[in-house]
Amino acid sequence: MFKFFTPSLTKFITFLLGIGLILELVSRVIVERLWFQEVGYVDIFAEQLSWQLGLWVIISGFSWWFLWGNLRQAERHKWHFIPQIPTKNKKRRKPLKQAKPQLIPESPSLGLFWLIVFTISLGCLMGFMLLYYSEVAYNVWTPDFTLPNITPPLPTPFFLDSVAEILSQLRNQLWKAGIMGGIIIVIFVNSQLYFKIISLTFSIIFGLVLSGNWTRILQYFYPTSFGEVDPQFSLDVGFYIFTLSFWRLVNFWLGGLFLVGFILVSLTYLLSANSLSQGKFPGFSRFQLRHLYILGSLLMSVIGLYHWLARYQLLYSTKGVVFGASYTDIHFLLPIYTIASVLAILISLWLLIKGITGWGRYAQIPLLKRSKLKKLPFSPLPFVIYITVIIISFLGQQTVQSFIVEPNELARETPYIERSIALTRNAFGLDKIQIKTLNAQGNLTANALNKNRLTINNIRLWDSRPLLQTNRQLQQLRLYYKFNDADIDRYGIPIENDAQLTIESDVKLPKIAKQQVLIAARELDYNEVPEQAKTWVNQHLVYTHGYGFTLSPVNRVAQGGLPFYFVQNIGTENNAGDLQTSSNAIRDNIPIDNPRIYFGESTDTYIMTNTEVKELDYPSGQDNVYNVYNGSGGIELKNWTRRLLFANYLKDWQMIFTRNFTPDTKLIFRRNINRRIRTLAPFLRFDRDPYLVTAEIKNKSEETSLYWIIDAYTTSNRYPYSEPGDRPFNYIRNSVKIVIDAYNGDVNFYIVDPSDPLIQTWRKIFPTLFKPLSEMPISLRVHIRYPKDLYNTQSERLLTYHMTDPQVFYNREDQWRIPQEIYGENQQPIEPYYLLMSLTSEAQEFILFSVYTPTSRNNLTAGLFARSDGDNYGKMLLLELPKQRVIYGPEQIEALINQDPVISQQISLWNRQGSRVIQGNLLVIPFFAEQSLLYVEPLYLEAEQNSLPTLARVIVAYENQIVMSETLDEALTSIFEPEKGDSSTIIRELDPEEQIIIPN
């Protein structure tokens, strides 16, 4: 049976597999180049490919040269037969026969038992390494495009804990145990052949790992100074972000390479001259020992580098009272790591000298020829000293911590607490937050509300969840349409005086004012197409795009308590293809031309356009309207070569046999906007919430109006002393805004924070990728907003790092928390929300806002504003409330609402069988000029089945009053103009002595 696989056949099969692999790689490169050319970034692709390919060739080539060369050297000096040990004549006391020194074993021999033990141990170690490095390479080259960041984590060197982790996986992943067993078997069967195969495998893996980390290597060659130094080593922060990561990567590679070489050479010598069948290994010869000495020297040099880099890693320690190097790290571990590094380098030099003494031409060097080093026996003493230092590092730090630090911890750790506070605040941009005080004195009046009419008119009564439920019931139109999300934005909307949600006033409003709205894209989700209609033609030629969007003001309610729509449906009386608008004024101010969505969040299929089959455009009554794509997106399938290339790339062979293609047919793939931008800029971290914008751009040839805006961040986990919390990074800047044309797929990257050193480095590397923010069209620039992901990150860090006094920080005397709110029937942390309000002038600003309470109390203590408009973009303001007075927090307000007998009775009546009340987001609205706070919470009513939420009531709390009314207007009137209040409004006076019970 096995004779069938002759050497010639094996070589032929290997040749065919090699040719197939090369063709696959070449076809993928060509297709990727065509895609990058289509989106206008072919130079970016060329640079990425050249670095990845160059790194793979250099690293794999050097690794192969090193391992192959050492295997050839071992082949030359291994035992080809069991040597005869020369004996001595006892009478003459001199050798009977002189043997060449290199043919005489100079180390103890090994019996069969120990020979098998060493062979299996080294084979297992090599198997563990192969599994570990293969998994690292796999993780590097199979990124998860659903994550905000697809840059692979920095790989860690192979240690004994890596062996323990792999052993724990063997139970559930038996194939790994099979690989381990197979490696041991082939070592015994045909060691030399498989040693060469293993050498080649490791070389390819090392090349893949380092080429997959091409972004870190590029950053090393194009660093940017931060202009800030760390307080311990006085090195620029850029060293830690750009240089340290590079040397850790080099350490990872060389450590694995030298260890594999040492194992392969050792096994070659141990298994030579049929030692297993002979039942004995005679010992290592002089040349064999010197070979192992040199490999051991290289391995110890890498260990020395590891310890030296570990000195800088102390700045990311998590063992002290704060993040970063603490007293024990600086006064104990830092000297220990320095000593261990020096010892490892000295051992490396000692082994190197022993290795080259008497080795070939080096033996003729006069200094070495006269040296007595070659006569000295190998001594384990240096290794004993080194291991002793390592053991002391493990045992001594707990002793120092317990007996020196803990008895006087605050005094010992104060300098390091100061470092962590300052650098964490800097890394997360907290040091730039301005602080302002609001006394919450309750100065609001009817006249004051009139002056703040635009703020009142933009208090959000609808949030995305009930709106999306309504959209899915009323606006999806067909099963295959999907509203993936609804996003908050602001648009210039004509003011209709009869539709304003405010108390009566003589204050004159502008004709067009910013209005806070919810916009939701109507995308096409092919997964919802009926099963019987899921054909290849429908998937790739017919169901190609979504159509339109809905636009709803956050404060207005339509008949029956449903959301009011500025833009909705598909089709009007005048034009069946237009979106329906609430008025001609809305049509004139909200662009709705060509609202086709070929690129979106839910889009995940590749399509062919301009074929013999027309595309479904939108439903019209019982029929469908069809269209042909005329945008600039897509790659032309103009010949059979391209059809073959793409058929192979997509593994879709129907592309070859279909007859529906024309000379103008285009292929559009990578239509999911998240995957699209991650392919172009894998080194950025992306916001999880892309949002749709409808805008008219002047001087643009294509008549498109829909664009996606995505925030991108530069991040690092290498900023010294900066505590990351639960996040995988400890430095972040919102440096880039990305705009994607929903019709053509064009992608543009705009820099919004040119002062960020990381984006400066990437701009050096890819000068054509990024554009200044000034080049973003004005109609899009007015829609940029402070991103929630960044805000949540900074807000979470501010809970602790608003405390800048070391003693207060150490004792956590003023720790904050994110308060909870009831949404529906569940408690959840209050999410930040957007407001349109005035901060420092009469101009309305689009602001992201949230509040804090102390950990030990539920009173409101502070609020954080992040600004989004014009020159104020990115500025933050911390609103502090007086601690000497009790100011109700959101949990206390909700408790007062839910334990009020009249309001709770009304809610209980609605919560009868078949329906339920949903308590919406509780909003805290600050008024700076009046030094006041207003609390607003909407109540929604929905059926338990076929949910269609309606706005049932609005609850307003101010000072000592809680009011529940049908509209916000009526609630405000009942508080500030009670003589004009509605009789149906429930007004409750708060008793200052009333005990507030906060539910758990």
Binned at pLDDT 50, 70 and 90, residue 911 comes out as confident
The position carrying tokens 């009531």 is 953
Would you say residue 829 lies in a domain? Answer: no
Would you say residue 866 lies in a domain? Answer: no
Residue 112 pLDDT greater than 80, yes or no: yes
Residues 6 or more apart whose CB falls under 8 angstroms from that of 115 comprise 270, 275, 276, 280, 281
Asked if residue 348 and residue 256 are part of one domain, the reply reads no
Of 18-32, 793-807, 861-875, the range with the lowest mean pLDDT is 18-32
Residue type for 658, please? Answer: T
Binned at pLDDT 50, 70 and 90, residue 343 comes out as very high
Give the torsion sign (CA, 380, 383, 388, 391).
Answer: negative
| More reliable by pLDDT, 277 or 349 | 349
Would you say residue 791 lies in a domain? Answer: no
What mean pLDDT is reported for the chain? 87
pLDDT value, residue 18: 76
Is residue 583 a contact partner of residue 496, using CB atoms and an 8 Å limit?
yes
Binned at pLDDT 50, 70 and 90, residue 382 comes out as confident
Residues 6 or more apart whose CB falls under 8 angstroms from that of 352 comprise 293, 294, 297
Give the torsion sign (CA, 778, 779, 782, 784).
Answer: negative
The torsion angle over the Cα atoms of residues 32, 35, 40 and 41, rounded to 10 degrees, is -20
pLDDT value, residue 992: 57
Residue 5 pLDDT greater than 70, yes or no: no
Domain boundary residue among 614, 642, 675? 675
Would you say residue 148 lies in a domain? Answer: yes
Asked if residue 317 and residue 170 are part of one domain, the reply reads no
State the average pLDDT over residues 51-63.
96
Cα separation of 308 and 248, whole Å? 10
Can you give the residue range of the structural domain that contains 537? 479-496+506-675
Is residue 878 a contact partner of residue 432, using CB atoms and an 8 Å limit?
no
Note the pLDDT tens digit of each residue in 291-333.
Answer: 999 999 999 999 999 999 999 999 999 998 999 999 999 999 9
Asked if residue 341 and residue 275 are part of one domain, the reply reads no
Note the pLDDT tens digit of each residue in 211-253.
Answer: 999 999 999 999 999 999 999 999 999 999 999 999 999 999 9
Cα separation of 70 and 297, whole Å? 14
Cα separation of 409 and 421, whole Å? 17
Would you say residue 1000 lies in a domain? Answer: no
Cα separation of 532 and 154, whole Å? 47
Asked if residue 289 and residue 269 are part of one domain, the reply reads no
Could you tell me where the beta strands, DSSP code E, fall in 110-180?
110-111
Both tokens assigned to 705? 């109006």
Burial of 903 (0-12, 13-18, 19+ CB in 10 A): buried
Residue 812 neighbours by CB distance under 10 Å: 11
Residue 869 pLDDT greater than 60, yes or no: yes
Residue 281 neighbours by CB distance under 10 Å: 26
Tell which residue, 191, 252, 195, 183, has the closest CA to residue 64: 195
Q: Is 693 left (phi over 0), alpha (psi -120 to 50) or beta?
A: beta
Is residue 525 a contact partner of residue 480, using CB atoms and an 8 Å limit?
yes
pLDDT value, residue 6: 59
Would you say residue 988 lies in a domain? Answer: no
Asked if residue 272 and residue 153 are part of one domain, the reply reads yes
Residue 89 pLDDT greater than 70, yes or no: no
Cα separation of 383 and 79, whole Å? 28
Cα separation of 811 and 409, whole Å? 11
Binned at pLDDT 50, 70 and 90, residue 17 comes out as confident
pLDDT value, residue 567: 94
Is residue 67 a contact partner of residue 203, using CB atoms and an 8 Å limit?
yes
Tell which residue, 910, 899, 878, has the closest CA to residue 996: 899
Asked if residue 203 and residue 347 are part of one domain, the reply reads no
> How many structural domains is the chain composed of?
3
Asked if residue 528 and residue 517 are part of one domain, the reply reads yes
Both tokens assigned to 828? 């959840």
Of 191-200, 689-698, 815-824, the range with the lowest mean pLDDT is 191-200
| More reliable by pLDDT, 196 or 848 | 848
Domain boundary residue among 216, 250, 283? 283
Residue 883: phi and psi, rounded to 5, are -85, -15
State the average pLDDT over residues 354-366.
58
Residues 6 or more apart whose CB falls under 8 angstroms from that of 367 comprise none
Asked if residue 345 and residue 262 are part of one domain, the reply reads no
Residue type for 948, please? Answer: L
Residues 6 or more apart whose CB falls under 8 angstroms from that of 284 comprise 105, 106, 107, 269, 292
- Alpha-helical runs (H) found in 222-333: 237-238, 244-270, 275-278, 286-313, 327-328
Asked if residue 327 and residue 204 are part of one domain, the reply reads no
Note the pLDDT tens digit of each residue in 480-528.
Answer: 899 999 999 999 988 764 444 444 555 556 678 889 999 999 999 999 9
Asked if residue 331 and residue 185 are part of one domain, the reply reads no
Domain boundary residue among 263, 283, 303? 283
Would you say residue 856 lies in a domain? Answer: no
pTM value? Answer: 0.91
Is residue 687 a contact partner of residue 485, using CB atoms and an 8 Å limit?
no
Distances (CA, A) of 566 to 251, 569, 585, 704, 949: 60, 10, 10, 19, 19
Asked if residue 340 and residue 258 are part of one domain, the reply reads no
Would you say residue 630 lies in a domain? Answer: yes
Residue 993 pLDDT greater than 80, yes or no: no
Distances (CA, A) of 490 to 465, 519, 569, 691, 692: 18, 9, 21, 12, 12
Q: Counting runs of H as helices and runs of E as strands, what totals does the chain give?
A: 31, 36
Asked if residue 307 and residue 269 are part of one domain, the reply reads no
Residue 934 pLDDT greater than 90, yes or no: yes
